[in-house]
Amino acid sequence: MALLKDKDYMVKQGLIPKPETVDENEWLSRQDAVEDKIRWSEQLDISSVAKIYFFSNEMNTIRKWKAELGKIKQYNAFTTASSTHHNVEVTVEGITKATGVQLLLKHFQLAPENILAVGDGENDLPLFKLAGHCVAMKNATDLVKEQADEVTEYSYREDGLYRFLKGKFH
């Protein structure tokens, strides 16, 4: 759901030519969201918001947004992460992919060291800290690659996860 007053801005973000730094998958996802998936509303019911997603084609806009969020964090508890260089995800403090996986581990009585975590974005790092073995995709940011035990030979666009798993478990 998004505010109707932001629709023109959001549509305009998807109409300009794709900037070099925006990944093709993210670009298509943003266009698809604006065209078909977003419900536009005059007001948002924030009582049920799980995540706020901010995207911009402009890196400077993202940098400013992250800086502003950093200031706000001093007074309000929340978590921020980015899955690419062009977005910021804001969630309830302490809620990450890792906290979701921890619930599953508890339910199925499994140990974290038995987890293989695969990711390519900053939002995967909490899961990397939990998992017994971490793999970064070839297209991952340097920060993610530094936290991984190994890096795939192929990117996600090149079926990197499939090729990695096939090579490990075939």
Hey, where are the domains in the chain?
2-92, 97-169
Question: CATH second-level architecture of 2-92?
Answer: 2-Layer Sandwich (3.30)
CATH code matching the domain that covers 97-169, chosen among 1.10.730.10, 3.40.50.1000, 3.30.300.30, 3.40.50.2000: 3.40.50.1000
The residue type found at 127 is L
Is there a common fold for 2-92 and 97-169? no
Q: Is the Cα dihedral 133, 123, 141, 11 positive or negative? A: positive
Give the pTM: 0.70
Q: What is the pLDDT of residues 72-129, one digit of tens each?
A: 999 998 988 887 788 898 988 888 899 999 999 999 999 999 999 999 988 899 999 9
Distance of CA 169 to CAs 40, 44, 92, 137, 165, Å? 45, 46, 36, 17, 6
CA 7 to mean position of chain CA atoms? 22
